[in-house]
């Protein structure tokens, strides 16, 4: 099982490499065109601007992995991970849920060491996915249930079509996690776990700066 979370792509391309904004006539994948043209509703959650974290349970103990195998966590955030998830108490709860089955719990790590801490300066973890040892992702309902058992934050969600998500980010809304901050974007997932022809998941990100001109930094 690959422990690093797969990259989430944008649904549209750019007419030229110099263009700042994406072109909604250039579909990145066939499923995007189908969902876009048929106004299929998707689960929309906030794209949190932190650092990618995988809590890896190998059936015996917990370890942590970043966006890539070479990624390193800031010392302060690594201390938060160890104190929060590297304890025997947390491992006992994990073992009760998963037994000896290997899983990776994916989420976004936030603290003052990273771009935006959303009011959690000393660290927090926003769960968004769980993957088993065969590479299959847990369904949304199971992730929410497990998040409650582990006392983890699962992001707020709303149902939107791709078109609705685009119009929403164009309004430059506030963060759903903390309204003192701006929303960086949305992550859209299919209502049920679906995969495209190439085996990739039906999931994409709608970033504010891809649809609103003149934004160098979404926090502006």
User: Are 86 and 120 members of one domain?
Assistant: yes
* Residue 215 domain flag: no
CATH number of the domain encompassing residue 205: 3.30.1490
Separation between Cα atoms, residue 30 and residue 35, nearest integer Å: 9
User: Are 103 and 145 members of one domain?
Assistant: yes
* Residue 41 domain flag: yes
User: Are 138 and 162 members of one domain?
Assistant: no
* Residue 112 domain flag: yes
* Residue 217 domain flag: no
Which of 96, 125, 149 is the endpoint of a domain? 149
Decide if pLDDT at 2 tops 60. no
85 token code pair: 């998830």
Q: Mind spelling out the 3-state secondary structure of the chain?
A: CCCCCCCCCCCEECCCCCCCCCEEEEECCHHHHHHHHCCCCEEEEECCCCEEEEEEECCCCEEEECCCCCCCCCHHHHHHHHHHHCCHHHHHHHHHHHCCCCEEEEEEEECCCCCCCCCCCCCEEEEEEEEECCCCECCHHHHHHHHHHCCCECCCEEEECHHHHHHHHCCCCECCCCCCCECCEEEEECCCCCECCCCCECEEEEEHHHCCCCCCCCCC
Segment 163-183, tens digit of pLDDT: 999 999 999 999 999 999 899
Handedness of CA 128, 134, 136, 142 (dihedral sign): negative
Segment 156-168, tens digit of pLDDT: 999 999 999 999 9
Band of residue 215 on the pLDDT scale cut at 50, 70, 90: low
Segment 13-37, tens digit of pLDDT: 999 999 999 999 999 999 999 999 9
User: Are 57 and 43 members of one domain?
Assistant: no
User: Are 56 and 39 members of one domain?
Assistant: no
Segment 121-145, tens digit of pLDDT: 888 999 999 999 988 899 999 999 9
Domain holding 87, by residue range, is: 51-149
User: Are 136 and 62 members of one domain?
Assistant: yes
Band of residue 189 on the pLDDT scale cut at 50, 70, 90: very high
Structure-token match 């065969």, residue found: 134
* Residue 193 domain flag: yes
User: Are 16 and 37 members of one domain?
Assistant: yes
Q: How many independent structural domains does the chain possess?
A: 2
């Amino acid at each position: 099982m690959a422990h690093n979370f797969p990259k989430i792509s944008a649904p549209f391309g750019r007419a030229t490499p110099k263009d700042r904004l994406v072109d909604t006539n250039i579909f990145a994948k066939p499923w995007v065109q189908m969902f876009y043209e048929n106004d299929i509703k998707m689960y929309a959650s906030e794209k949190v601007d932190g650092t990618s974290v995988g809590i890896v349970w190998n059936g015996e103990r917990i370890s942590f992995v970043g966006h890539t195998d070479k990624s390193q966590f800031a010392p302060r955030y690594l201390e938060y991970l160890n104190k929060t998830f590297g304890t025997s108490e947390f491992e006992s709860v994990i073992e009760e849920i998963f037994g000896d089955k290997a899983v990776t719990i994916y989420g976004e790590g936030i603290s003052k060491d990273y771009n935006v801490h959303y009011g959690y300066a000393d660290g927090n973890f926003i769960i968004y996915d769980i993957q088993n040892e065969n590479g299959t992702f847990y369904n949304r309902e199971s992730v929410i249930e497990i998040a409650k058992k582990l006392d983890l934050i699962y992001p707020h969600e709303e149902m939107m079509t791709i078109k609705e998500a685009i119009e929403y980010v164009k309004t430059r809304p506030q963060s759903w996690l903390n309204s003192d901050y701006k929303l960086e974007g949305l992550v859209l997932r299919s209502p049920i776990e679906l995969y495209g022809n190439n085996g990739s998941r039906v999931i994409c990100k709608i970033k504010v700066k891809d649809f609103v001109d003149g934004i160098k930094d979404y926090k502006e």
